[in-house]
Amino acid sequence: MDLQNEKCIMIIDENLPLGIIANTAAIMGITLGSKIPEIVGRDVIDKTGNTHLGIIKIPVPVLKGSTEIIKSLRKKLYEPYFSDLTVVDFSILAQCCKTYNEFINKMKETSEIDLNYIGIALCGAKNKINKLTGSMPLLR
């Protein structure tokens, strides 16, 4: 992976409560790390000899959006041009499930058009991600 030409971003619904925003970012970040393990650096050792687990090697800006913006973006990401990007989407349906089996079963019964996304994470070619999100503001 050429980290100079790669980018990872998250877009989260700015209207969510702070706790749900944090949870959404955490869930998407864990999934990104599992799907692209090479973006996680090696463990490091501090001056006193304590080990600290490696963190992501590149910045991950968190951008603000709305459910409508995220849904529109998710739709574009199904286009063949963007098929090489890693995409993690997180929906209200997923957020409301108590177990992963419940999530699996509910997704089997839900059409994509009926999903309301509260967050999406992208990782891949910087030029493609910038084309999709270049004008979006940071979530602050």
Q: What is the pLDDT of residues 4-56, one digit of tens each?
A: 889 999 999 999 999 999 999 999 999 999 999 999 999 999 999 999 999 99
Which of 76, 59, 91 lies closest to 132 in space, CA to CA? 76
**Phi, psi for 75 (deg, rounded to 5):** -60, -45
pTM (two decimals): 0.92
Rounded Cα–Cα distance for residues 124 and 6 (Å): 5
If you write DSSP's letter for every residue of 5-39 in order, what string do you get?
GEEEEEEEETTS-HHHHHHHHHHHHHHHHHH-GGG
Determine contact, residues 92/60, Cβ cutoff 8 Å: no
pLDDT value of residue 3: 73
Sequence-distant contacts of 100-103: CB under 8 A, at least 24 apart: none
- 2 pLDDT higher than 90: no
The predicted-structure confidence for 67-123, as pLDDT tens digits, reads as follows: 999 999 999 999 999 999 999 999 999 999 999 999 999 999 999 999 999 999 999
Q: Where are the domains of the chain?
A: 3-133
CATH of domain 3-133: 3.40.1490.10
pLDDT score at 1: 65
Find out whether 35 and 8 touch, Cβ atoms under 8 Å: no
Q: What is the pLDDT of residue 125?
A: 94
